Amino acid sequence: MSDIRSPHEAERLLTVAPDAYETRRDFLKRTAVSAGLAAGMGLVLDPDVVVAEAARRQRRVKLPSPRNLPIDTFVVLMMENRSFDHYLGWLPGADGRQAGLQFTNPAGQKLSTHRLNFTQSCGFEDPDHSWDGGRTELDGGRMDGFLRADSDVFSIGYYEEADVPFTPHAAKAFTTFDRFFCSLLGPTYPNREYMHAAQSYGMTDNSLPVSSKGLGFPDTTIFNALSQVGVSNRYFYTDLPISALWGAPGLARSGQVQEYYERAAAGTLPALSFVDPAFQGESQGTSGDEHPLADIRVGQAFQADIVHAFMSSPQFKRGALFMVYDEWGGFFDHVAPPRVPDLRQSRTLANDFGQMGFRIPAVVVSPYARRGHVDHSIYGFESILKMIRYRYGVPALTPRDLYANNIAAAFDFESKPDYEVPNLPSPPEVVVSACGGTAPADSGGTGIDDGPLGAPPGTVPSLEVPERTPAEMLTSGYLERLGFHYTPATPATMYRHPSKLGMRA
């Protein structure tokens, strides 16, 4: 057979049989290209459609000016202690992983992630989500230390879509974030402090702020910043008010969650509302915040009520409700969080407040949220603060929210708002019993968030208490000293409809 790669032979062939020359060369090339393309593409769209769609995806829509941003009412609902993969790793279109991951325990055994078949975690340890434990789990970005921290196999368990009564429905109906990291690689209070103030005042654990000057952190919160410019705001608690961490000013802006329900129905919610669940009873499995050992169905029912109250409020049309969790709770996740600029950043990871925590489930409910959408941009609690600041012209609280991405970018302000309320479930009534002696009571018990570190030198000293739990706010006398009258949460005080039996009365 002649070789068309030879120039002489090619010219001869071209002279005597030009069609054969072309046919053979073209056939070989076209066959190769066709085979490659067919293998690679499967489906060929109209080129014009591909180009137009690609250009559309790249087009960045400029945000409306702050004054024209059609969101007047912000609500932030913050639950407790769940990671993204643990709760939403199954979500289509999101970067989640559940089955098939393996983690090595201190004994060198490789254990696989597994589906959880219970909703109340009696008998298991509360997974380690302390400052140090988080760094062990991070393992220099390898994300493989979840069983080497102070945690058992519960920490590598996960729930599938059918296992969690409400969050999956909201996640599929509205916009879910799969790069939403909690602000700090640490426990509850510091993360909630970041949610309120874009800093934890140097706190790495759940210490209470007590100093010679009095009780509470300085009020450098978003609430105070909004008040300075005449914008209404309110904090709603169910039993223990986190706002008490800012002392008397924090409590002054606080109300019980029934007030939230009433104001939502009346259309009189303030411009900014933070809503918290019932924290008491975490270590007995009876709290309403989804924190281990709690039965997650109780917190899910609470979330459903808060969200339904918002969606049926006249303020829904110009509102946005963020459903978030305060931190990952020691549960596995596979995406390493970034280090970002912070008021207390340090080169040393052990002292770096710029190290964000692991991903948490985060959903935004709004007529301007894209329906059934997963947003992949990097956000933290400070990103919500940044959107609120943008809307109301408030200066940055700290470098953290100065540098953060504005979560307003995830909204669709170009299309017509979708006022139709999706058919989200109202999870069924649940009666929860305390764990049978597997965990000590909150008063003096091990509870949650046992950050072993004290505050770094130069920070606000904390009360001397042996354990670090939200219940300490009550048991240490902190709330009493602030003049707060504590009332345990009951179905009547927790739910929008008192007939819902989520907790023991």
Partner 1 sequence: MTRRPAAALVAALAATAGLGVCSSIAAADSFTPVGLTISIAPVARRHAPLPITVAITADPGVLDGSEGPLRMEVRLAPECGGTFQTTPGTTLVNAALNPQPSTGKAYAGSVKGSGRPSAYGAQTVCAFLEDTDIGRVYANDESMQVTVSPSCTGAATAYDRARAALTRAQKQLRRSTRAAVRRRLKRKIASRKRTVARDKRRATTACGAGVAL
- Closest distance of CB 60 from partner 1, Å: 5
Backbone angles phi, psi at 307, to 5 degrees: -70, -45
How many Å apart are CA 290 and CA 166, to the nearest integer?
A: 12
Q: What residues from 179 to 198 belong to the interface with partner 1 (CB under 8 A)?
A: 179, 181
- Closest distance of CB 154 from partner 1, Å: 25
Binds partner 1 by CB under 8 A, chosen from 165, 337, 427, 470: 337
How many Å apart are CA 418 and CA 422, to the nearest integer?
A: 10
How many Å apart are CA 365 and CA 371, to the nearest integer?
A: 9
Residue 48 or 464 having the CB closest to partner 1: 48
Binds partner 1 by CB under 8 A, chosen from 64, 70, 72, 95: 95
End-to-end CA distance of the chain: 92
Q: ∠ CA(281), CA(134), CA(83), 5° rounding?
A: 60
Q: What residues from 232 to 291 belong to the interface with partner 1 (CB under 8 A)?
A: none
User: Of 369, 279, 278, whose CA–CA distance to 321 is shortest?
Assistant: 369
Which window, 109-117, 151-159, 163-171, 335-343, contacts partner 1 (CB under 8 A)? 335-343
DSSP 344: T
* 3-state class (DSSP) for residue 373: strand
Residue type, position 78, single letter: M
Binding mask 343-372 for partner 1 (x = CB under 8 A): --x-x------x-x----------------
CA of residue 107 relative to chain centroid, distance: 32
* 3-state class (DSSP) for residue 73: strand
Q: Does 67 bind partner 1 (CB under 8 A)?
A: no
Q: What residues from 389 to 418 belong to the interface with partner 1 (CB under 8 A)?
A: 389-390, 399, 402-403, 405-406, 409
Q: Does 338 bind partner 1 (CB under 8 A)?
A: yes
- Closest distance of CB 32 from partner 1, Å: 10
Query: Which residue do the tokens 């009951």 mark?
Result: 490
Binds partner 1 by CB under 8 A, chosen from 51, 99, 252, 431: 51
Q: ∠ CA(119), CA(115), CA(300), 5° rounding?
A: 30
Instruction: Evaluate whether 410 touches 177 at the Cβ level (below 8 Å).
Output: yes
Give me Rg for the CA atoms of the chain: 27
Residue 26 or 480 having the CB closest to partner 1: 26
- Closest distance of CB 366 from partner 1, Å: 19
Residue 65 or 117 having the CB closest to partner 1: 65
For partner 1, the binding residues (CB under 8 A) are: 7, 10-11, 14-15, 18, 29, 33, 37, 40-41, 44-45, 47-48, 50-51, 53-55, 57-60, 95, 141, 179, 181, 335-341, 345, 347, 354, 356, 376-378, 389-390, 399, 402-403, 405-406, 409
